[in-house]
């Protein structure tokens, strides 16, 4: 808990704990869709994680590999080029929103991903990354709409796909970052008017500044659990 306090201090105030020095290198790839792509902007969650690591004296290399509109099938196709070729030590896989959301846009020529295909492909992605010796942090999809009472149109389906991600994490014995659960807990406490957006997102899906800080904090917690901030010596 003390370690995590210092990490949050950096996240929200920019302070640098004097006792923190890093003598090892990591390469961390953030692999996902538009949420991850936007995470590389100055106030994005990937940038916040990168800056927090630097504040702790880390020379870890942060690589963003998010592309707007991506589904798990797209991640499968670009896994070699955008992830494995980088020889990462850690890969954060944050996918599933479009696999669900795109079912609403058939009239635009888009389609979602069946639950069976989602599980099969996600399992393959995680297994392939693990086969290289890299550690996977697997995230559940967060929200499509921020109403806290379960009345967002895609809440039932999003819950199902989140459960698939949890199952994959359990079966592959990898780190799970349950963003779905964390978002729902936060919204229950901080969305008294049951608003559809503008709590952690600006459109019900993509993160606003508060959302980026929230996700960054959770990512930092997961990385801290792997000893990235305070390695055992």
Task: Tell me, yes or no, if the pTM score tops 0.95.
Answer: no
Higher pLDDT, 97 or 15: 97
State how far the Cα of 34 lies from the Cα of 210, in Å rounded to an integer. 17
CA 233 remoteness from chain centre: 28
Which class is 2-11+24-225 in CATH?
A: alpha beta
Give the confidence band of 10 by pLDDT, cuts at 50, 70, 90: low
Tell me the H-state helices in 45-114: 45-55, 72-82, 97-101
Q: Are 212 and 43 in contact (CB under 8 A)?
A: yes
Is pLDDT of 233 > 50?
Answer: no
Select from 168, 145, 173 the least CA-distant residue to 157: 145
pLDDT of residue 24: 47
The token duo for 59 is: 């020379």
Provide the percentage of residues in the chain whose pLDDT is more than 70.
87
Is pLDDT of 229 > 80?
Answer: no
Q: Are 42 and 210 in contact (CB under 8 A)?
A: no
pLDDT of residue 180: 98
pLDDT of residue 30: 98
Is pLDDT of 44 > 60?
Answer: yes
Domain ranges of the chain: 2-11+24-225
CA 26 remoteness from chain centre: 18
State how far the Cα of 70 lies from the Cα of 177, in Å rounded to an integer. 19
């Amino acid at each position: 808990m003390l370690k995590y306090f210092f990490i949050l201090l950096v996240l929200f105030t920019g302070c640098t704990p004097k006792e923190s020095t890093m003598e090892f290198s990591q390469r961390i790839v953030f692999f996902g869709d538009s949420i991850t792509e936007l995470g590389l902007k100055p106030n994005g969650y990937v940038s916040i994680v990168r800056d927090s690591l630097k504040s702790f004296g880390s020379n870890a290399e942060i690589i963003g590999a998010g592309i707007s509109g991506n589904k798990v099938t797209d991640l499968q196709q670009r896994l070699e080029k955008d992830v494995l070729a980088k020889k990462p030590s850690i890969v954060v896989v944050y996918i599933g929103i479009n696999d669900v959301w795109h079912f609403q846009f058939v009239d635009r020529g888009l389609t979602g991903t069946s639950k069976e295909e989602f599980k099969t492909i996600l399992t393959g992605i995680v297994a392939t990354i693990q086969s290289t010796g890299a550690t996977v942090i697997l995230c559940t999809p967060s929200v499509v709409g921020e109403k806290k009472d379960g009345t967002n149109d895609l809440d039932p389906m999003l819950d199902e796909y989140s459960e698939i991600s949890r199952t994959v994490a359990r079966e592959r014995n990898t780190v799970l970052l349950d963003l779905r659960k964390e978002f729902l807990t936060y919204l229950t406490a901080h969305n008294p008017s049951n608003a559809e957006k503008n709590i952690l997102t600006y459109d019900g899906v993509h993160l606003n500044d508060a959302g980026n800080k929230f996700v960054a904090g959770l990512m930092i917690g997961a990385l801290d659990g792997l000893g990235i901030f305070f390695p055992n010596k």
